[in-house]
């Protein structure tokens, strides 16, 4: 039982780490960035490139991958979202442009690395193991668990207590008003995309390290989970997203233990549906959702 | 700017439509010289993009190598083979369209493919209705040849070892050598995995092994620790992974961690070159259609030629598509006329103990491949026979 | 003439799929036109597909009757669902309908009669091209007429401002529900037609990917009128076939074209025609008249 609890916490942490960047862009810019799974995948492949092709160690690859995916986020905004903002396009069109970018980037990665999953060269992935009594804990997995909470705390602090955070919140409330108030809107948007994508890239690298496997579609299974987590936790709330992630992780493992296994997936979506209908603000939602 | 984009899009469409019609008319220039025989066209529908694109380039390269060798050796009674490869995008309607293009536009003599069984469920009926011989080269599931859901499927042949044949052999070998009494099956929710689940359950029953629990995962699951923990609770003698290679790698890692010493028995999904670099690949027991280590001369020649031509070792999917093309060429030679589909079909039925990388090759009365199963494990990053 | 019939025989499946996708895009257009973003239509398509295929297989139901029952079943499911989820709006509504779609998929995966993950194979190809295109024509015509009617104007009003519409005595809830249920009816019909084109269906055909795809057809085509979704479905379904000569690069070009279209025509392909007309009218000085 304790083992399944640890499994659930780890799964929750993966969902949280993935959802943080996704939720950040949504809460500040109201964009459902369907390219987030692609950024996640890209992070892992950049690490592979640095380790496999350049022959550098993992602790160099990790920051490079995070930095490059962060920059990719800014480029993503310039190519796929900024032109739409300038033209006052309907909100839905940003979903489509992010899908288009996904098509292109996934294919480029496949042309270079193939479509099958691959592993890092032998012995290049960090492998610390801690033993506490009988139980063994892998360093990378612990890092994922700890980071998912620590990063959420840092982000929340930045949003609440710093000038950048105040700018972002003003932007989230009303972009035009924010500009009138002297907020450098372009810089704030770039910062949002940089941080969101860097987080996505970090999640991708850590997950690829944890499983020592990566493929061009590795982000896809997490996409719907990220929606779920965001809604369950309350849209616009980062702590909510993290709590939502743990609720989902625990719920999935609990339903594996207690329910007929075919119906396990129904749990996640049943939960999502119920939360939406009964409590559309989510567990920690602050923004009032559009509700008639 | 708008106009520019429109022109751009129009240009692409134009380019596309030209390309589509210009490509098939191949050799008008050579027609003047002593009337060489027209090329014999063979269609290969394969997943070059989409969810199953990892079967390539191996799957198309295998067929390509065979075609090049056959042409270099003089072709089929003086006529050259021409391989036309179309991407099926891993989806059914593109697979169907690829088949229709082969049949209606290219007028091919026979078709190989498509990669996935789920795509074959849509594409094979098209060839069956048109009366064009098809050799399936990577479909391993139920209902591909013999008894098919869509009615008669006598134009469909299969060169890929079906799980109905491979899994029972694997289960038998594993039961004997590991002394299995009870196992737990972890299975995915796709067509391939569910076919495997059915076949595994029957095979274990036939061998007197109890399946104490069946645990389902979905295509959207990321972490496999909870499934293995759940399986461990049953204290089984081995874990069965009815899955594709990606999840199988994670199941192998978790079994190594949580249940040291236990083996993972799998179907064709585990038979992937990508799994060889997994640190725990040595735990698996899998039935395969092909052994790279086979010392048969046809096989060693194939492995060497493939390596020279493409710079990498072939995998099973390359060996199977190479074999299918070799088998087809043999049938075409004996058929007398490549354009007479019925004659080609009859000649395929008559293929008998042909030397191929898969071993001596024949079809059963149901048009399924008749070949031995290699029960393998992994040692030093290579598939090796399971002892 | 031969060339034309060759072309038709080769691409009949693609042409059929274009028509089916046009129907699906029209079904989601309905709710979009009323200002509601829903993602449940892939699931309704699945319901129509499974119900009609199962009726044909087990009860020998005549094809048109099976189609009809399939689409009514989808609508019957939409009615209670709509009553619950239309308390929500925007992304919340989209995700609630998406969650419903995933639940349908899981149920299909777990139910023996639907063939679980193996799906239903060997479905007889009863759908003719004219079935599909007659359906597209009828649906487009009806929707076009409805668009100009009182109901259509009510939908547009709800899209622009729900509260103002309610204050003018429009039954907002009922109108939204009507759009949703009629959309489900169309999607179910499209599902039944498509199941009898490709010989085989399985739950993964009706999941998240399909739901997003259908929405993309409608949005890329444009929502001002019924021509938009048809155009969008046509272009985006034909694109993979048109780009075949690009081989390994076709996904890249497809992505690039999608990106260019949405950036330069963010309100959809149909607005391209509008832009041209507006320009021509202004040149001949007749803009005010139009």
For C76-111, what is each residue's pLDDT tens digit? 999 999 999 998 888 889 889 999 999 999 899 888
Asked if C162 contacts C172 with a C-beta cutoff of 8 angstroms, the reply is: yes
- pLDDT confidence of B34, banded at 50, 70, 90? low
Interface mutation target, options C118, C206, C267, chain B, most CBs of B under 10 Å: C118
Other Cβ atoms within 10 Å of B176 Cβ, number = 10
Chain A nearest-CA residue for B231: A257
Which secondary structure element, helix H or strand E, spans residue C110, and what is its range?
helix C90-110
Cα–Cα distance between B15 and C242 in angstroms, integer? Answer: 9
Distances in Å between the Cα of A8 and the Cα atoms of A248, B228, B260, C6 are 9, 13, 22, 57
Query: Judged by CB atoms within 8 Å, which residues 129-158 of A form the interface with B?
Result: 136
Rounded to 10 degrees, the C-alpha dihedral C98/C114/B240/A209 comes to: -20
Position A39 in a domain? yes
CB pairs under 8 A between A and C: 134
Q: Which of A182-186, B16-20, C258-262 has the lowest mean pLDDT?
A: B16-20
CB A244 within 8 A of CB A283: yes
pTM: 0.90
What CATH number labels B38-162+296-370? 3.40.50.2300
**What tokens were used for C275?**
């832009």
CATH number of B164-288: 3.40.50.2300
Q: C-alpha A27: how far from its chain's center?
A: 13
**pLDDT exceeds cutoff 70 at C1:** no
Instruction: Tell me the C-alpha to C-alpha distance, in Å, between residue B317 and each of A187, B322, B323.
Output: 51, 8, 10
Angle of CA points B268, B110, B71, to nearest 5°: 95
Residue C255 in contact with residue B12, Cβ under 8 Å?
no
For the record, the structure tokens of B273 come out as 């070159």
The single-letter DSSP state of residue A16 is: H
Angle of CA points A42, B249, B213, to nearest 5°: 130
**Contacts of residue B272, Cβ cutoff 8 Å, sequence gap at least 6:** A116, B245, B248, B315
Task: Please say whether the beta carbons of C265 and C64 come within 8 A.
Answer: no
**Exposure of A21 in the CB half-sphere (CA atoms within 13 A):** 30
- Per-10-residue mean pLDDT for chain A, 292 residues long? 90 94 90 94 97 95 97 97 89 91 95 90 83 76 91 91 90 88 91 96 95 92 88 82 92 87 76 82 58 32
Pairing of strands B182-187, B238-242: parallel
Domain assignment of residue A180, given as a range: 2-278
Contact residues on chain C for A104, CB-CB shorter than 8 A: 251-252, 255-256, 259
Residues forming beta bridges with residue B148, ordered by sequence position: B151
Three-state secondary structure call for residue A72: helix
The number of distinct structural domains making up chain A is 1
Token pair 């295998």 is found at: B62
Place of tokens 């009303």: A174
- C236-253 pLDDT, tens digit per residue, is 999 999 998 888 898 999
Query: A113 is written with which tokens?
Result: 């690395």
pLDDT for B18 beyond 50: no
Cβ neighbours around C72 below 10 Å, total: 17
Cis ω on the peptide bond leading into residue B57 (within 30° of 0)?
A: yes
Residue A290 lies in a domain: no
Residue B317 CA to residue B160 CA, distance in Å, equals: 9
**Tokens representing residue A205 in the block:** 């690298």
- Answer yes or no: is A291 within a domain: no
Angle at B379 between CA B374 and CA B380, to 5 degrees: 140
Contact criterion met (CB < 8 Å) for A89 and C262: yes
Q: Which helix (H) or strand (E) holds A10?
A: helix A2-29
Q: Which residues, at least 6 apart from B236, have a Cβ–Cβ distance to it below 8 Å?
A: B182, B183, B184, B212, B213, B262
Sheet of strand B182-187: strand arrangement: B210-216, B182-187, B238-242, B263-266, B284-288, B374-379, B382-385
- Give the number of B-C residue pairs with CB atoms closer than 8 Å: 117
Chain C residues lying within 8 Å of B97, measured CB to CB: 10-11, 13-14, 241
* Contact: B150, C122; criterion CB under 8 Å: yes
User: Given a contact as 3+ CB pairs under 8 Å, which chains touch C?
Assistant: A, B
User: Is the Cβ pair C121, B150 closer than 8 Å?
Assistant: yes
DSSP-H helix ranges across chain B: 2-22, 58-72, 92-100, 117-130, 163-178, 191-206, 225-232, 245-258, 297-310, 316-335, 341-349
**Residues B358-382 pLDDT 10s:** 999 999 999 999 988 999 999 998 8
Say how far residue B344 (Cα) sits from the centre of its chain.
Answer: 22
Bridge-based pairing of strands B182-187 and B110-112 is: unpaired
Question: Using the beta-carbon criterion (under 8 Å), do C219 and A96 form an inter-chain contact?
Answer: yes
Q: What are phi and psi of B243, to 5 degrees?
A: -155, 170
**Contact: C110, A273; criterion CB under 8 Å:** no
Nearest to B214 by CA among B223, B196, B225, B222: B196
Confirm or reject contact between C265 and chain B (CB < 8 A).
yes
Quick check: A115 and B222 CB within 8 A? no
Chain A hits for B197, Cβ within 8 Å:
none
CB within 8 Å: B229 and A221? no
CATH code for position A216: 1.10.3470
The pLDDT value recorded for residue B12 is 44
Q: pLDDT digit string (tens) for C198-207?
A: 999 999 899 9
Residue partners of C165: CB distance under 8 A and separation at least 6: C154, C157, C158, C172
Chains in contact with A via at least 3 Cβ–Cβ pairs below 8 Å:
B, C
Q: How wide is the angle at C-alpha C157 spanned by C-alphas C151 and C161, nearest 5°?
A: 150
Q: What is the mean pLDDT of residues B253-276?
A: 91
The tokens describing A154, both together, are 């840092």
Q: Tens of pLDDT along B251-263? A: 999 999 899 999 9
Do C254 and A99 count as a contact with CB atoms less than 8 A apart?
Answer: no
% of chain C exceeding 90 in pLDDT: 73
Q: What is the pLDDT of residues B73-106, one digit of tens each?
A: 999 988 999 999 999 999 999 999 999 999 999 9
Residues in chain B whose Cβ is within 8 Å of chain A: 49, 51-54, 56, 189, 214-216, 218-223, 225-227, 229-230, 245-246, 249-250, 253, 257-258, 272-274, 277-279
Distance, first Cα to last Cα, chain A: 43
Residue numbers in A near B220 (CB within 8 A): 220-221, 224-225, 265
Cα nearest neighbour of A221 on chain B? B220
Interface check for A103 against chain C (CB to CB < 8 A): the answer is yes
Structure tokens at B230: 């759940």
Instruction: Supply the ipTM of this predicted assembly.
Output: 0.91
Which residues, 6+ apart, have CB-to-CB distance to C28 below 8 Å?
C38, C41, C183, C187, C214, C215, C217, C218, C229
Q: Is the peptide bond before B135 cis (omega within 30 degrees of 0)?
A: no
Confidence band, pLDDT 50/70/90 cuts, at residue B250:
very high
DSSP B42: E
- Written as six digits, the tokens of A147 are 């980071």
Measured on CA atoms in the order B301, B306, B312, B313, is the torsion positive or negative?
Answer: negative
* Contacts of B among chains (3+ CB pairs under 8 A): A, C
- Whether B139 shows a pLDDT value over 80: the answer reads yes
For residue B230, is pLDDT > 50? yes
What is the 3-class SS of B318-387, one letter each residue?
A: HHHHHHHHHHHHHHHHHHCCCCCHHHHHHHHHCCCCEEECCEEEEECCCCCEECCCEEEEEECCEEEECC
pLDDT recorded at residue C278: 62
Q: Return the percentage of chain C with pLDDT > 70, whole number.
A: 93
| CB pairs A-B closer than 8 Å | 83
pLDDT at B10 over 50: no
8 Å CB contact between A214 and A49: no
Q: Which residue do the tokens 């019609």 mark?
A: B21
Domain residue ranges in chain B: 38-162+296-370, 164-288
Cβ within 8 Å, pair C119-B5: no
Looking at residue A53, what DSSP letter applies? I
Give pLDDT, residue C220: 93
* Token duo for residue A95: 């979903």
CB contact under 8 A, B230 and A4: yes
CB within 8 Å of A198: residues ≥ 6 apart: A21, A66, A67, A69, A70, A73
- The answer to whether A119 contacts B250, with C-beta atoms less than 8 Å apart, is no
C124-182 confidence digits (pLDDT tens): 999 999 999 999 999 999 999 999 999 999 999 999 999 999 999 999 999 999 999 99
Q: Which residue of B has its CA nearest to C119?
A: B191
pLDDT above 90 (res C272):
no
* Domains in chain C: boundaries: 2-219
Contacts of B5 in chain C (CB under 8 A): 260-261, 264
Q: d(Cα B8, Cα B5) in Å, to the nearest integer?
A: 5
Binary contact (C242, B13; C-beta < 8 A): yes
Encoded tokens for C131: 């079935």
* C213: contact with B, CB 8 A cutoff: no
> Is B223–A7 a contact, with Cβ atoms under 8 angstroms apart?
yes
Cβ-contact B222, A11 below 8 angstroms: yes
- CA-nearest residue of chain C to A223? C208
Is there a contact between B329 and B337 (Cβ–Cβ < 8 Å)? Answer: no
Question: Where residue B33 falls among pLDDT bands split at 50, 70, 90?
Answer: low
Residue B229 to residue A224, Cβ atoms within 8 A: no
Give the residue on A whose Cα is nearest the Cα of C112.
A262
Rounded to an integer, what distance in angstroms lies between the CA atom of residue B58 and that of residue B60? Answer: 6
A277 contacts C99? CB cut-off 8 A: no
């Amino acid at each position: 039982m304790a083992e399944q609890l640890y499994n659930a916490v780890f799964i929750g942490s993966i969902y949280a780490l993935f959802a943080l960047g996704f939720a950040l862009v949504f809460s500040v810019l109201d964009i459902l960035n369907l390219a987030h799974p692609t950024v996640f995948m890209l992070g892992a492949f950049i690490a592979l490139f640095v380790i496999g092709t350049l022959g550098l160690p993992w602790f160099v690859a990790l920051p490079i991958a995070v930095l490059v995916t962060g920059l990719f986020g800014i480029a993503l905004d310039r190519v796929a979202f900024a032109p739409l903002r300038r033209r006052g396009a309907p909100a839905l069109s940003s979903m489509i442009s992010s899908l288009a970018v996904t098509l292109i980037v996934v294919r480029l990665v496949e042309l270079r690395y193939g479509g099958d999953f691959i592993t890092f060269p032998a012995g290049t992935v960090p492998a610390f193991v801690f033993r506490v009594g009988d139980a063994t804990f892998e360093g990378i997995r612990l890092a994922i668990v700890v980071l998912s909470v620590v990063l959420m705390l840092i982000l929340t602090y930045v949003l609440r207590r710093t000038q950048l955070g105040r700018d972002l919140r003003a932007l989230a409330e009303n972009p035009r008003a924010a500009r009138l108030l002297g907020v450098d809107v372009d810089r704030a948007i770039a910062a949002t995309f940089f941080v969101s994508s860097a987080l996505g890239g970090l999640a991708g690298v850590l997950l690829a390290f944890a499983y020592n496997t990566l493929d061009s579609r590795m982000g896809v299974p997490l996409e719907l989970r990220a929606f779920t987590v965001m809604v369950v936790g309350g849209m616009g709330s980062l702590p909510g997203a993290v709590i939502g992630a743990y609720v989902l992780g625990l719920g999935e493992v609990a339903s594996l233990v207690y329910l007929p296994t075919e119906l396990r997936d129904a749990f996640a979506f049943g939960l999502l549906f119920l939360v939406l209908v009964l409590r559309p603000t989510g567990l920690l939602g602050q923004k009032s959702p559009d509700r008639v | 700017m708008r106009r520019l984009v429109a022109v751009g899009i129009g240009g692409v469409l134009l380019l596309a439509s030209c390309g589509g019609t210009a490509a098939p008319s191949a050799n008008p220039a050579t027609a003047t010289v002593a009337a060489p025989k027209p090329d014999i066209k063979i269609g290969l529908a394969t997943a070059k993009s989409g969810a199953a694109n990892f079967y390539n380039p191996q799957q198309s390269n295998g067929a390509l190598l065979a075609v090049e060798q056959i042409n270099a050796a003089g072709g089929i009674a003086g006529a050259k083979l021409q391989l036309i490869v179309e991407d099926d995008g891993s989806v059914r309607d593109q697979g169907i369209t690829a088949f229709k293009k082969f049949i209606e536009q290219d007028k091919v003599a026979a078709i190989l493919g498509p990669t996935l069984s789920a795509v074959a469920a849509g594409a094979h009926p098209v060839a069956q209705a048109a009366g064009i011989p098809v050799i399936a080269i990577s479909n391993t599931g139920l209902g591909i040849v013999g008894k098919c859901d869509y009615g008669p499927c006598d134009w469909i042949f299969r060169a890929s070892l079906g799980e109905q044949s491979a899994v029972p052999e694997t289960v038998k070998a594993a039961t004997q050598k590991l002394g299995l009494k009870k196992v737990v099956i972890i299975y995915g929710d796709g067509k391939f995995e569910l076919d495997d689940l059915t076949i595994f359950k029957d095979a274990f029953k036939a061998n007197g092994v109890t399946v104490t629990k069946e645990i389902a995962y979905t295509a959207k699951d990321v972490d496999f620790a909870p499934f293995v923990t759940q399986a461990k609770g049953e204290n089984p003698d081995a874990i069965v992974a009815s899955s594709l290679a990606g999840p199988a790698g994670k199941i192998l890692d978790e079994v190594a961690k949580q249940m040291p010493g236990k083996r993972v028995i799998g179907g064709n999904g585990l038979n992937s070159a990508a799994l060889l670099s997994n640190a725990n690949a040595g735990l698996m027991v899998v039935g395969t259609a092909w052994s790279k280590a086979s010392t048969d001369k046809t096989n060693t020649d194939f492995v060497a030629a493939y390596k020279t031509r493409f710079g990498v070792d072939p995998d099973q999917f390359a060996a199977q598509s190479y074999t299918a093309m070799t088998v087809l060429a043999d049938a075409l030679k004996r058929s007398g006329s490549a354009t007479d589909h019925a004659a080609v079909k009859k000649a395929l039925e008559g293929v008998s103990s042909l030397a191929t990388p898969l071993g001596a090759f024949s079809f059963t009365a149901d048009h399924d491949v008749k070949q031995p199963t290699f029960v393998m494990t992994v040692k030093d990053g290579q598939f090796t026979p399971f002892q | 003439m031969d060339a034309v019939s060759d072309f038709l025989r080769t691409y009949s499946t693609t042409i059929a799929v274009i028509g089916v996708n046009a129907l699906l895009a029209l079904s989601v257009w309905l709710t979009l036109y009323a200002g509601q973003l829903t993602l449940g239509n892939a699931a309704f398509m699945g319901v129509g597909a499974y119900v009609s295929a199962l009726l044909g297989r087990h009860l020998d139901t005549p094809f048109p009757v099976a189609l009809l029952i399939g689409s009514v079943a989808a609508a019957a499911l939409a009615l209670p669902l709509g009553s619950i989820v239309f308390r929500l709006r925007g992304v919340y509504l989209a995700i609630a309908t998406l969650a419903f779609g995933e639940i349908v998929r899981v149920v299909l995966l777990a139910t023996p009669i639907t063939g679980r993950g193996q799906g239903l194979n060997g479905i007889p190809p009863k759908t003719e091209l004219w079935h599909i295109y007659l359906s597209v024509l009828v649906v487009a015509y009806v929707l076009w007429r409805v668009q100009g009617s009182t109901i259509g104007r009510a939908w547009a009003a709800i899209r622009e401002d729900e509260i103002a519409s309610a204050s003018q005595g429009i039954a907002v809830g009922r109108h939204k529900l009507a759009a949703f249920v009629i959309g489900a009816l169309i999607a179910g019909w499209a599902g039944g037609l498509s199941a009898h084109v490709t010989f085989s269906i399985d739950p993964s055909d009706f999941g998240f990917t399909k739901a997003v795809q259908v929405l993309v057809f409608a949005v890329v085509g444009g929502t001002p009128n019924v021509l938009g979704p048809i155009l969008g479905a046509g272009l985006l379904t034909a694109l993979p076939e048109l780009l075949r000569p690009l081989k390994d690069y076709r996904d890249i070009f497809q992505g690039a074209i999608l990106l260019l279209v949405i950036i330069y025509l963010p309100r959809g392909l149909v607005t391209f025609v509008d832009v041209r007309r507006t320009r021509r009218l202004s040149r001949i000085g007749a803009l005010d008249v139009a």
